[in-house]
Amino acid sequence: MTVNDIAKVLEELAPLAHAEEFDNVGLLVGNPNMKVKGVLVTLDTLENVVEEAIEKKCNLIVSFHPIIFKGLKRLTGSNYVERVVIKAIAHNIAIYSMHTALDNSKMGVNAKICEVLGLKNPEILIPRTKSIKKLTTYAPSADADNIKLALFTAGAGEIGKYSNCSYSLEGTGSFKAGNGANPAVGKIGEVHFEKETQINVIYSFEKEKSILKALFDAHPYEEVAYEVLTLENSNQDLGMGMIGTLDVEMDEKEFLLFVKNRMNASVVRHSKLLGNKVNKVAVLGGSGAFAIGAAKKSGADIFVTADIKYHEFYQAENQLVIADIGHFETEQFTKDLLVDYLTKKIPNFAVSLSENITNPIKYL
């Protein structure tokens, strides 16, 4: 398999189009057409991780965090980022990053946290808006079913656990073909009336190119009439954070100790305990202060995240408990998620879990 082949497998889990605009995801170092001998999965790509890849004969590193985040103006080895890139290039090792594309995945970072904590019925905490599009097109009624099938095959018409979703209306279309046209029906210079079906489907924005291609390939008309609208609807399958419930309620302190144990956290920093039972839990891997409001609005009893600043703890406002367990600690199991995923998708391929602990924060 090539680097590009494995990238396509990873994009089935976390399409790069789902990453946040500020992020730097995808292939950061290396040739997409290079044949891959082995894959090393890590949370961060540091020098010791590249050395581990060399030792294990892995020439592709799949990293959660991007080693290159801002533009590089020179490669002189003056800092750890430049040294990693130089070493990777020198040993012909490719580096691929997923970061917020995986954060936004319904089966990504936050789903793994829910799994580790045993949360049931997890849902997206902050569903993304303006990521669902609606396609309306018009076609001869005799061709409508074939066109719908082509659109469904390309990924249109998926809503939650349902697929092949569409809505159709019957009507009459009219047109007059001019000189040089090649109409599928009707004659040049004559107004033609055709029994047509209006087809309506929705789709996730990153699939637009393939869906429009499917439409044009399947449609019999020389000129295809269609409209594309961006919807305000929340996307229940895409977004930041998750919220789920416990099988059995716990006291707040009991739950915080449970989280500390299950997430291998050295320290749990938290806002004031409220004396409530914990049933509904919101989680967000990495820096999650921006989601405090959403966690409160969701009715969560506790919000488990990281990188909460002093004044941000005040935002709990006696409505929930904010628990900061550490950035690395919230994301550490992402490596296991990716190894399990790749092993299932390409079972006959060498996929290794990095043995390096890349947490830069130490505790006394």
Residue where a domain stops, chosen among 179, 213, 233: 233
Closest to 219 in 3D by CA, of 193, 190, 189, 197:
197
Helices and strands, number each (H, E), in the chain = 11, 15
Domain boundary among 216, 233, 250: 233
* Owner of token pair 């082949």: 5
How far is it, in rounded angstroms, from Cα 223 to Cα 175?
A: 11
Looking at the fold, whether 216 and 347 belong to one and the same domain comes out as no
Residue 262 placed within a domain: yes
Give the distance from CA 85 to its chain's centroid: 25
pLDDT for position 44: 98
CATH number, residue 162: 3.30.70.120
Instruction: Report pLDDT for 70.
Output: 87
Same domain? For 121 and 252 the reply is yes
Q: Establish if 278 belongs to a structural domain.
A: yes
Count of the separate structural domains present in the chain: 3
CATH code, domain carrying 16 = 3.40.1390.30
Same domain, 254 and 119: yes
Looking at the structure, tell me whether residues 23 and 93 fall in a common domain: yes
Domain ranges, residue 216: 132-233
Is 256 found in the same domain as 123? yes
Give the model's pLDDT for residue 179.
Answer: 94
- Predicted TM-score (pTM) of the model is 0.91
| pLDDT score for 161 | 87
Q: How far apart are CA 12 and CA 24, in angstroms?
A: 18
Residue listed under structure tokens 């989601």? 291
- Tell me the residue length of the chain: 364
Q: Any binding-site annotation on 340?
A: no
- Give the residues of the chain that fall short of pLDDT 70: none
**Of 205, 233, 261, the domain-final residue:** 233
**Are 172 and 186 part of one and the same domain?**
yes
- Under DSSP, the state recorded for 81 is H
Residues 180 and 116 in one domain: no
Give domain status of residue 42, yes or no.
yes
For residue 205, the tally of other CB atoms under 10 A from its CB is 18
Question: 155 with 229, same domain?
Answer: yes
Per-residue burial over 268-277, b if 16 or more Cβ lie within 10 Å, else e, is bebbeeeeee
Taking Cα atoms as reference points, which of 211, 226, 224, 101 lies closest to residue 157? 211
Pair 219, 243 in one domain: no
Q: How far apart are CA 330 and CA 354, in angstroms?
A: 17
324 has binding-site annotation: no
The answer to whether residue 364 is domain-embedded is no
Residue 362 lies in a domain: no
Tell whether 42 and 96 lie within a shared domain: yes
The answer to whether residues 181 and 143 belong to one domain is yes
- Please indicate if the annotation marks 65 as binding a ligand: yes
* 99 annotated to a ligand binding site: no
**b/e burial code for range 219-250 (CB count within 10 A of at least 16 → b):** bebeeeeeeeeeeeebbebbbbbbbbbbeeeb
95 and 19 share a domain?
Answer: yes
